Amino acid sequence: MALPLFANDILTIDIGFRYIKILQIKRKKNNSLVVVNFGIGDTPKGCIKNGAINDKERVIAEIKKVMHEQNLDAKEAKIVISGTNIITRIMMIDKVPEEEVDKKAWEEIKESLPINFSEHSVDYKLLGVINENGTEKIKLFVTAVSKKIITSYIDILNSLNLKPVAVDTPANSISKFFQKEVKYEESENWIKKKRRIKSSSSNTYAVIDMGSETTIVNIIKDKSPEFNRVLLMGGSNIDNAIARTLELEQRHMDKAERYKKMYGIAVKDPNNELENTCCKTAKAVVDEIIKNIKVCFDFYQNRCAGETVSRIYTIGGGSMLKGLGDYMEQTLDVPVYPINALTIDGIEFVQGLNLEKINYLINAIGVSF
Ligand SMILES: Nc1ncnc2c1ncn2[C@@H]1O[C@H](COP(=O)(O)OP(=O)(O)OP(=O)(O)O)[C@@H](O)[C@H]1O
Ligand SMILES: [Mg+2]
């Protein structure tokens, strides 16, 4: 019997407030990953409250439906937890000999994290040594997740008869994704455009996940996650604002979302009154989101001894908002790269897959590594 070319397929699942993303992935012998197929389902309304899944049955039913429709039949799964449930902190400890780092790290974590340690799963990564006012300090990236939340995600996988292989955070899956070499097909126009923007050569970049209820700001330096903040604002705030401005009823919220997708924030036809109104309304929300992103960048630089962010990658459905990339570049003065414009070493897609939706899938791809 011929040896199978691939090891077992796995499913990866990212349950967002608006869409559920499910991918089937194979690992090739050379270790590169192949996305075999994927499906995107609608998260049933009202199933997720404050980041926790409070109506598992309806979520499970939707996942089953998508799996069936797209023929996703792997038996093992990895899942990403919703960002709003996770505590992340950058901490500094005095530099101590290597064998004492772990003890010192846990002392600091126990002292400064305001959580019940028996109810949380806590983890840290060493980010290296920095010099703070003449003293050498070790920088830590600390993550804490409630054990109850982890169990609820495992329950979902069990109910789907899937063997849970990993439950991970968005910050980890994003940083794993960006471990890979990210490449651009840089056209002449593209290069000219980028030259107009001040670009620092630091190896620090931001990955901004523009979701429906949340915008997650990740800062990655030398491929390690250094900062993660979940802003409780996203695409649905734009829908709500458009609905309010147009005085649409709650049940016509899908209309507001449609206008948002159609018009974005850059007016194309100045004579179209509806377009002008929607763009202006959407832009006001985007301004608020960008203001908060800027606060994160400043905090990272001033309080976490971080470097200037040299580029921004945008992911998530909200990153498709028309005119967003250019507007972000102007306001933040940092080059913005939408994820759909790149190719990534070590990740392949089966021919024929519709890759227009790749920006939705980054969390679910990252968790597969
Ligand atoms: N073309 C588009 N223009 C603007 N917004 C879009 C477009 N396509 C999708 N969106 C928005 O993207 C959001 C959904 O993206 P995504 O699936 O990344 O969010 P989510 O993961 O469900 O939410 P969260 O991350 O907050 O849990 C919705 O607000 C949707 O309206
Ligand atoms: Mg999301």
pLDDT tens across 313-366, in order?
999 999 999 999 999 999 999 989 887 766 778 888 888 888 888 889 999 999
In which domain, by residue range, is 108 found?
A: 85-146
**Average pLDDT for the chain:** 89
**Minimum CA distance residue for ligand 1 atom 27:** 16
Q: Per the domain annotation, does 206 fall within a domain?
A: yes
Co-location of 155 and 186 in the same domain: no
Spacing, Cα 4 to ligand 1 middle (Å): 37
Co-location of 54 and 100 in the same domain: no
pLDDT of residue 182: 73
CATH number at residue 76: 3.30.420.40
Co-location of 75 and 163 in the same domain: yes
Spacing, Cα 331 to ligand 2 middle (Å): 24
pLDDT of residue 4: 44
Co-location of 33 and 109 in the same domain: no
Co-location of 154 and 78 in the same domain: yes
Q: What is the dihedral of CA 247, 250, 251, 253, to 10 degrees?
A: 80
Co-location of 120 and 20 in the same domain: no
SS3 278: helix
Pairing, β 215-221 against β 204-210: antiparallel
Ligand positioned closest to the Cα atom of 40: 1
Contact, 30 vs 346, CB < 8 A?
A: no
Distance, first Cα to last Cα, the chain? 29
Co-location of 109 and 193 in the same domain: no
Q: How confident is the model at residue 23 (pLDDT cuts 50, 70, 90)?
A: very high
pLDDT of residue 3: 43
Ligand positioned closest to the Cα atom of 230: 1
| Residue 18, ligand 1, Cβ within 6 A | yes
In order of 101, 105, 114, 130, the CA distances from 126 in angstroms are 9, 9, 21, 11
Residue 231 above 50 pLDDT?
yes
Spacing, Cα 17 to ligand 2 middle (Å): 7
Most confident of 131-135, 168-172, 276-280: 276-280
Q: How confident is the model at residue 5 (pLDDT cuts 50, 70, 90)?
A: very low
Q: Is the pTM of the predicted complex or chain greater than 0.85?
A: yes
Question: Relative to the CA of 257, which ligand 1 atom is closest?
Answer: 31
Mutate to test the pocket of ligand 1, among 212, 218, 362 (most ligand atoms within 8 A of CB): 212
Co-location of 197 and 297 in the same domain: yes
Co-location of 141 and 118 in the same domain: yes
| Residue 259, ligand 1, Cβ within 6 A | no
| Residue 16, ligand 1, Cβ within 6 A | yes
**Minimum CA distance residue for ligand 1 atom 25:** 211
Count of structural domains, the chain: 3
Q: Which region among 115-124, 184-193, 219-228, 306-315 has the lowest average model confidence (pLDDT)?
A: 184-193
Q: Which helix (H) or strand (E) holds 284?
A: helix 273-303
Co-location of 316 and 169 in the same domain: no
Co-location of 35 and 94 in the same domain: no
Co-location of 24 and 99 in the same domain: no
According to DSSP, residue 306 is labeled P
